[in-house]
Structures are given as C-alpha cells and as structure tokens.
Amino acid sequence: MTEQAFAPQRIVVTGGAGFIGSNFVHWVVNNQPGVHVTVLDALTYAGNRQNLAGIPEDRLDFVHGNICDEQLVDQLVSQTDAVVHFAAESHNDNSIADPTPFLQTNVHGTYVLLQACKKYDVRFHHISTDEVYGDLALDDPARFTESTPYNPSSPYSSTKASSDLLVRAWVRTYGVRATISNCSNNYGPYQHVEKFIPRQITNLICGIRPKLYGDGLNVRDWIHTEDHSSAVWCILTKGKVGETYLIGADGERSNIDVLRAILDGMGAGPDDFDWVRDRPGHDRRYAIDSTKLRTELGWQPQHTDFAQGLAQAIAWYRDNEDWWRPAKEATEAKYAAQGQ
C-alpha cells in the first residue's frame, strides 16, 4: 500500500447506467456495504436504467443528467467524498462517423468534473483506456506500461487521451487528488450490442451472420468487467494520488479466435461468418502489462478462464433478449450503411 487507505462513504459514479459503470455500481453495492452511490448518467443510446435494476433504494440515487451541466455537477460534487468517472462516448466506429459528441462528453465533460473536484477538494478517479497508447505490432514482444508514450489513433482514443492529460494537469497545477486507470477490452453482461462480442452473439441468436473486420488478426486483451470493477475500487481506495495504473488480465486473443470460440459455443460452424470492410485506422494489437497494479496495490483478476467467461456471456444474452432487442435493429442498420 502506497499511502493511508481512503475510505469513501459516498461516491458519485458518472456513466453508471452504461456497461462498465453499471457493473461497477453492482460490484460496490455487493462488496462495500457502507457505501452510498449516486449515479449521474445522461441515458444516451448506450445508457439503460434497467442496468441498475434490483439495487436497494437506500444504496443508490439515480440522477438523470449530463456531466457537461456545470450547475448539476457542482451540486453533486459538493455532497460527495469521491467521483468515479466512467461516462464517455465509448465506441470507435461511432467516433469515426461523428466525433462531435466525443469531444463534448469525453473532453469537455471531464473538464467540468475536474473543476468541481478542484473547488470542493473531492477525490477523483478517471476511467480510461489502453487505446491512448496507440497499437503494437503482432510480433512486438512489448506490452503497454504506465510509461508508454501516448499515441492515439482514432477520434475516440484521442479524446480519451485528451481527458487523461487534463487530469494530469489538474493534479500538478491545482493539486486535485486524482488517479487514472487505463484498462483493456472489457466483456460481460450489459455490454451494448454495437461492441464486438455482444454483436456476434446476438447476430447468431437473430440468424444474422457474424461480421469480422479486415483480416481478423487484430488482437485485443480481454478482461472480465468484474475484474475491472475490483481494480478500480482498489485504485480508488489504495492508489497513490497523481498516479496512473494499467488494468489488464493477460487476455490477448485475435478477433478471429474469439469469433470462432463464439461460433463453436453457439453450435455454428467455424466459417459461418462474413468478412467485412475494415475499420479505418484500425489498431492492430493492444496488450497490457499490469505489474504495477499487482505489485504495488496487490490486485489480482479473478475471472481468468476466458472460455468460461465467454460461455457465461453467451448465456446472459440468451437469457436477456428483452434487454438487447430494442437496440439491435438500429445498430445493425447503422453498420449496414457503413458496409460493416
């Protein structure tokens, strides 16, 4: 442990109705009995109030609002011990089609939160991505570490990189008590059907052929979202202010391997998919070295059996059609218009 543990009683979770944010809220409610959560979420196409169903009323307040709303943010931050900032526009393909909301939410929204945390001296944890480091060649023995230079490729990752730099500057110039985590690709329940794994699973359920970009050899470093949640809590409570921690679970896999595991797990043949147009600027490979988080803060992932995690994800999408059906048709129409 690097400094005295921080024990927040009240936290504001931005983006808590999205995929990773809602999994984090469930994790906190289930694992940290004394902590009260206030979710601030704009309920964009990616947010869903249903993701927080079942949480007792005395543990959760839900505020429907925008992180760019200075007055609302000021009021919420004035009454909390910490802000855990997940809210973002999160999908690369959307950022290529229209970067505007990415600039607004990811950059300006983070600025608004930082200003409020500065005013009330509130602890801030910023959720970011490994994509800020750009990509690695398939045969590069290196993985990303906390000292890898920033080199983002897409409108999405460049706005995430911009927000990380704002956090670093607010720490150094104003003494804001902030930490940053950069995590690899998450999978698990409540992930929007626009993302790779849910898209392919729900395609197969709908009788649509899965779609693979480019040559399918791009590598992503998969982590179960529950492991992301435990890592964020570990950094919030035990991390050193001003530091960055990389979160990853040694889960490198090529897209074609993941797709073939889904096809196999759902009773389809190995070639029952379509090759489609590649993503412009498509990052080749991400890989995280999470040694710092493991050795300095003692964190360990629990869900290291990817086959088992994938089987659970497939079961979750089979059991929760009501949750994803409403978004499926529009998502596929958007992809079809892009040739994907």
Which residues bind to ligand TDX, rule: CB under 6 A? 90-92, 129, 131, 185, 195-196, 199, 211-213, 218, 220, 255, 279
| Minimum CB distance to ligand NAD, residue 281 (Å) | 17
Cα 36 to Cα 26, 73, 77, 230, distances in angstroms: 12, 17, 14, 17
Beta strands in the chain (DSSP E): 10-14, 36-41, 60-64, 82-85, 123-129, 178-183, 186-187, 211-213, 219-221, 223-224, 244-247, 252-254, 274-276
Contact flag: residue 38 with ligand NAD (CB under 6 A): no
Which partner in ligand TDX, ligand NAD, none is near 44 (CB below 5 to 8 A by kind)? ligand NAD
* Binding piece for ligand NAD, criterion CB under 6 A, among 44-52, 234-242, 275-283, 288-296: 44-52
Q: Is 131 an active-site residue?
A: yes
Which partner in ligand NAD, ligand TDX, none is near 211 (CB below 5 to 8 A by kind)? ligand TDX
HEC-encoded secondary structure of 75-102: HHHCCCCEEEECCCCCCHHHHHHCCHHH
Contact flag: residue 63 with ligand NAD (CB under 6 A): no
Beta bridge partners of 36: 10
**Active-site position among 131, 135, 227, 243:** 131
Cα 199 to Cα 56, 108, 227, distances in angstroms: 31, 30, 22
Total Cβ atoms within 10 A of residue 250: 16
Helix 306-319 with 255-265: angle, nearest 10 deg = 60
Number of residues this chain uses to bind ligand NAD (CB under 6 A): 31
Among 73, 171, 183, 212, binds ligand NAD (CB under 6 A): 183
**Active-site position among 41, 130, 135, 227:** 130
Considering only residues 68 to 87 of the shown chain, the ones binding ligand NAD according to CB under 6 A are: 68, 86-87
Residues that bind ligand NAD (CB under 6 A): 14-15, 17-21, 40-44, 46-47, 66-68, 86-90, 105, 109, 127, 129, 160, 183, 185-186, 192
Catalytic sites, residue numbers: 130-131, 156
